[in-house]
Chains A and B, each alone.
Chain A
Amino acid sequence: MLEVNNLSKTFFAGTVNERKALRNIDLTLSEGEFVTVIGSNGAGKSTVLNMVGGKLRPDAGTVRIAGKDVTKLADHSRARYIGRVFQDPMAGTAPSMTIEENMSLALNRGKRRGLGLGVTKAKREQFAHELASLELGLENRLKAKVGLLSGGQRQALSLLMATFSGPKILLLDEHTAALDPQRAALVARLTDEIVNRHRLTTLMVTHNMEQALKLGTRLVMMHDGEIILDLDAEAKSKMTVPGLLKEFEKIKGAQLDDRTMLQ
C-alpha cells in the first residue's frame, strides 16, 4: 500500500550546517498494516512522514501509494490518499470555523469543490453520527467554533476528520504528545478503534515506548536518519520497554564504535 524506496534528504547540503536527515530509507507497508515509529530526537521520523505527506521533497528516492508514484505530487494533490494528524492540536482544524464546517472540509478530501452548500441537513446528520463515535458529546455542538474546544477534543476531532472520508494512508506525528496523560490515553484509544474500524494503513510516530508497543502491528526504530530496528507483530508482542532500550543501546553503541574505529 505504501512503498518508500531509497529515500534520502540532506538539509543545508554543502554548508557547515549540513544535516543528513535521512539516509537511504526503505520501508514497505502492506494494506492495513499499523506501524509505530520510535527513535531519538532528530532521528528523521517527522521527515519521513513529511515526505510521504508531500510537505517535503526527497533529494533521492521514491514514494508510492497503492502502486502509484506520488514523489513529485504537491501535498494538496496527494491529500486524497493521505489523512494526517499533527502534533499541535491547533494544527489539524480551522479554529474560527464551526465543528460542522470543519467536518464538511474533511468530507470533501481530494474532491473538486463546487458551489453546493458545505453543510446541508443530510450532511449534518452524517457528521453527528460520525462525531457520536468519539463519545465526547461533540455531536451536540455542531455549531460551536472549533477554537472553543479543549486540546484533547480538538485532537480527537482532527483524528476523526483525518480518517472518516476514507484515505488510504494515515500519518500520525506524535499526535498525543501535547495532551495531558488522560486525554492522551483517550486519543490513543480512539486511534486504535478508528484504525481498526477502517483497516487503515498507518504510520504513527510516538515518543512513548509503551504506546508504541501497545498499539499497531509492527514497530520501527529510527536513529540518525536510518531504520535500525524493524519488529513484526510477533517480535513486537514479545518486546518490552527495557528490551527496546537495550536494543537501542546495543545498536547505538556499535555505531559509536564504528566511528571511533574510523578516526
Chain B
Amino acid sequence: MITAVELGLIYAIMALGVYVTFRILDFPDLTVDGSFTSGAAVAAIGIVNGMPALVATILAFFVGALAGVVTGLLHTKGKINGLLAGILTMIALYSINLRIMGKANVPLLGEDTLISPLRQAHLTGGIVSVLIFFAVALALKFVLDWFLHTDVGLAMQATGDNEEMIRSFGVNTDNQKILGLALSNGLVALCGAMIAQYQGFADVGMGIGLILIGLASVIIGQAIFGTRSIFMATLAVIIGAVLYRVFIQLALNAGLDPNDMKLISAILVVIALVLPQWKGFSRFGRRMRTITAAAEKQKETV
C-alpha cells in the first residue's frame, strides 16, 4: 500500500499537468499519452548515455513542453479541433519515442537515477520516501499556484473562463493556450521521467491510457475537496492522484487481474462523470455546494 501512495504522489505531477489543460484552459488535451512516454524516453536515454539524472529529468520537461507547443500550434494556427490536435501529436509521438529509445524498452538497472540513492538506502516503500515524494509534489503545486496568480497566470485562467472577455483586454488567447499546453505537457513528461526512474525502465507503451489516470485523479480529488480556490484545487488533484492509486491497489488486492486495470480506470472515470448527474447524488452535491457557498459568504463578510 505504501508503494501505491508513492506511485500516486509521483503521478500527481502528471495530474497537475492535466489539471492545467482540462480545468484551467478548459481544453481536452490527449497529447499526454505521448508526452509522458517522451519524458520517460528522454530521461532514460540521457541517463544511459551518462547524463546526470537531474539534467536528463529537466530535459524531459522541455521535450514534453515542446510536444505541448505542437498541439497548441495545430489547434490555434492550424484551426484543428482540440481533441484531434492532441490525438495527432500523441500518435506522431509514438514513432518519435521509438526513435528516441531505439527500441521498445530501455532498462535503467544499475544506472545512477534520481531514485537510486533512495533505493540504495532502502528508503523506498517507507515513510521517508513518501515524505520526499510528497514534498516534491507539493513544491510543484506551490510553483503552479504561484504561476497561476501572476499576471500571465491570471490571463491563462481567464482564457479558459471567458475567452472573448480576456481578448477584449488585449490578451492573445492563442498564445495563452500554447503556453498552457506547454506547461501541462512539460509536467506530464517530467512525471514520465520520474516514473521511468522509479520503475527502472522506459517502455514505449507506458503512456497508453494515461489521460484516464490524470482525469480520474482530477475528478476524484475535486469531487471530494471541491475547487473553491486554486490552492485547494491543486491540493485536491494531488490527493486525487494518491486515492486513485490506492483504489487500484485495493482492486488488485481483491484479486483483480492487472491486465484489467485500464478497464477499471475507464469505469472509474465514467462513474465519476455520471454519478453527479443522478438525482440522489446531485441532491447531496447541491447540499454540499450550498454549505460551501454559505461558508464562503461568511468568509467574505468577515
A91, B151: Cβ atoms under 8 Å? no
Interface of B, helix, strand, loop or mixed by DSSP: helix
What is the CB-to-nearest-CB distance from A233 to chain B, in angstroms, rounded to a whole number? Answer: 29
CA distance in complex: A259, B135 (Å): 78
A106 to B154 alpha-carbon distance, docked (Å): 11
Asked if A141 contacts B300 (CB within 8 A), the reply is yes
| Structural contact, B151 and A114, CB atoms closer than 8 A | yes
Interface string of A72-95 (1 = CB under 8 A from B): 001111011011101000111111
Q: Pick the residue among B153, B158, B169 that contacts A79 (CB under 8 A).
A: B169
Q: Is B259 located at the chain interface by the 8 A CB criterion? A: no
- Encode contact with B along A175-219: 1 for CB under 8 Å, 0 otherwise: 000000000000000000000000000000000000000000000
Chain B: which residue is nearest A90 at the CB level? B162
Q: Which of B3-11, B170-178, B193-201, B276-284 forms contacts with chain A?
A: B170-178
Q: Which A78-135 residues sit within 8 Å CB-CB of chain B?
A: 79-80, 82-84, 86, 90-97, 101, 104-106, 108-111, 113-119
How far, in angstroms, from A116 to B153 measured CA to CA in the complex?
Answer: 10
Contact, CB under 8 Å: A115 / B150: yes
**Distance (Å) between the CB of A121 and the closest chain B CB?**
14
Q: Which of B158, B165, B300 has the most CB of A within 10 A?
A: B165
Assess the A114–B158 pair: CB atoms within 8 A.
no
Q: Does A143 contact B (CB under 8 A)?
A: yes
How would you classify the secondary structure of chain A's contact residues: helix, strand, loop or mixed? Answer: loop
User: Are B152 and A105 neighbours in the complex by a CB distance under 8 Å?
Assistant: no
Question: Interface residue count for A (Cβ, 8 Å)?
Answer: 42
Chain A residues whose CB sits within 8 angstroms of the CB of B167 once the complex forms = 75-76, 79
The answer to whether B170 touches A110, judged by C-beta atoms less than 8 angstroms apart, is yes
Q: Is B21 an interface residue (CB 8 A)?
A: no
Q: Across the interface, do B154 and A76 meet the contact criterion of CB distance under 8 Å?
A: no
Contact of A108 with B151 in the complex, beta carbons under 8 Å: yes
A residues apposed to B, CB below 8 Å: 53, 74-77, 79-80, 82-84, 86, 90-97, 101, 104-106, 108-111, 113-119, 140-141, 143-145, 148, 161-162
Give 16 A-B contacts (CB < 8 Å), ordered by A residue: A76-B168, A84-B168, A90-B162, A92-B165, A92-B168, A93-B162, A94-B166, A104-B154, A105-B166, A106-B169, A116-B150, A117-B149, A143-B299, A143-B300, A148-B293, A162-B168
